[in-house]
Amino acid sequence: MITEKIQSLLEETAALTATTAKEVEDLRIHYLGRKGVMNDLMAEFRELPQETKREVGQKLNQLKQSIQAQLDTLRKNLPAEDGKKDALDLTRTPYPTPLGSRHPLTLVRNEIIEIFSRLGFVLADGPEIEDDWHVFSSMNFPADHPARDMQDTFFIARQPDIVLRTHTSSVQSRVMETTQPPIRVICPGRVYRNEAISARAHCFFHQVEGLYIDKHVSFADLKQVLLTFARELFGEGTQIRLRPSYFPFTEPSAEMDISCHICGGKGCAFCKQTGWVEILGCGMVDPAVLEANGIDSKEYKGYAFGMGVERITNLKYRVKDLRLFSENDVRFLDQFVGEGF
């Protein structure tokens, strides 16, 4: 009877032994293969009367599970030389595909965005191929400003008013002309400048600019936001200082330094013994910029800031050669596996 065969096989398979992976595989084929013992039993099972199938079916399942468990035990207890990692094991699941990592510039950009998002800023985007108005004129660049020269800007051939944007301030202009205050945005993106490629400069790089326009906005508001940002990005003990500067679209304007996070402000080769490292430019939005973009400068004020993502990435990861960011060298990129989000 089939029940006697099942009982006999339970006793037989419980005593199975094997010393190589091939022997284990042969046992699996003999008992569980398409032409194996279990397949023959299933053929007999299909001929049984309906009233006995339930009881016999349960015993067949128990037998199959018992055989599989015994084979797993044999496979697990194989000698080390037979179970070595490079041995071919047809029963093993496919090896996992190694995962890559996010690009270091993406890691830093995402961290910057996340910090300003918690401060109430929302993302804004715009085209990389822009017109003269949004890149220069709306930002209060005079007609004879050096940035308008071909030595500094990429112009589209036969279209003198179309350029590759030199800064993401063009996104700020587009937001201002289509949105009434209050406005609080950050504008990350790639920008282009006609510069010789070297370890310290490239013809394209990435910026994150911010803009806040509302009533009663002050320079003190700007300073507090930038201090919070610096401490979130570089650590709680980070200090900042603002130095007077000039930008066509802000007045007053400043460049912001942070205390060197490598030497703690004591002075080292990285900060050129000054204890400070420059990271961004900022200032109050010039009234002429507000008026050019359709915002009443008598009612509203605002501040703006802009930073290079490559510059911040250099500070965080001490990457000395900007060309590494665009060469796709896997040896360089593998250093950032497991970093950030």
Segment 262-293, tens digit of pLDDT: 777 788 777 788 889 899 999 999 999 999 99
Q: Give the tokens for residue 170.
A: 């063009």
Buried b (16+ CB within 10 A) or exposed e, 137-173: bbbbbeeeeebbeeeebbbeeeeeeebbbbbbbbbbb
Whether the pLDDT of residue 84 is over 70: the answer is no
The beta strands (E) that lie in 260-333 are given as 276-285, 301-308
Range with lowest mean pLDDT among 19-33, 44-58, 304-318: 44-58
Q: Could you read off the pLDDT of 221-262 as tens digits, one per residue?
A: 999 999 999 999 988 889 999 999 999 999 999 999 999 877
pLDDT at position 338, please? 65
| Cα 64 to the center of its chain, rounded Å | 48
Between vectors from CA 183 to CA 181 and to CA 189, what angle results, nearest 5°? 145
Specify which of 29-38, 138-147, 154-163 reaches the highest per-range mean pLDDT: 29-38
pLDDT at position 298, please? 94
Angle at which helix 21-32 crosses helix 50-76, to 10 degrees, equals: 180
pLDDT at position 83, please? 45
Whether the pLDDT of residue 145 is over 80: the answer is no
Q: Where are the domains of the chain?
A: 2-76, 104-336
Report how far residue 19's alpha carbon sits from residue 30's, in angstroms, rounded to the nearest whole number.
Answer: 16
- Band of residue 302 on the pLDDT scale cut at 50, 70, 90: very high
pLDDT at position 341, please? 53
- Band of residue 303 on the pLDDT scale cut at 50, 70, 90: very high
pLDDT at position 287, please? 95
Query: For residues 58 and 116, which has the higher predicted lDDT (pLDDT)?
Result: 116
Domain 104-336 has CATH 3.90.230.10: no
Whether the pLDDT of residue 304 is over 90: the answer is yes
Whether the pLDDT of residue 89 is over 70: the answer is no
pLDDT at position 307, please? 95
- Band of residue 87 on the pLDDT scale cut at 50, 70, 90: low
Range with lowest mean pLDDT among 61-70, 97-106, 191-200, 318-327: 97-106
Angle at which helix 37-46 crosses helix 21-32, to 10 degrees, equals: 10
Buried b (16+ CB within 10 A) or exposed e, 19-57: eebeebbebbeebeeeebbbeebeeebeeeeeeeeeebe
Q: How does the average pLDDT of the chain come out, rounded?
A: 86
CB 270 within 8 A of CB 264: no
- Model pTM score: 0.67
Query: For residues 237 and 341, which has the higher predicted lDDT (pLDDT)?
Result: 237
pLDDT at position 330, please? 83
Give the residue among 103, 109, 72, 105 at the shortest CA–CA distance from 89: 72
Q: Could you read off the pLDDT of 188-203 as tens digits, one per residue?
A: 999 999 888 887 788 8
The three-class DSSP label of residue 119 is: coil
Residue 226, φ and ψ in degrees, nearest 5: -70, -35
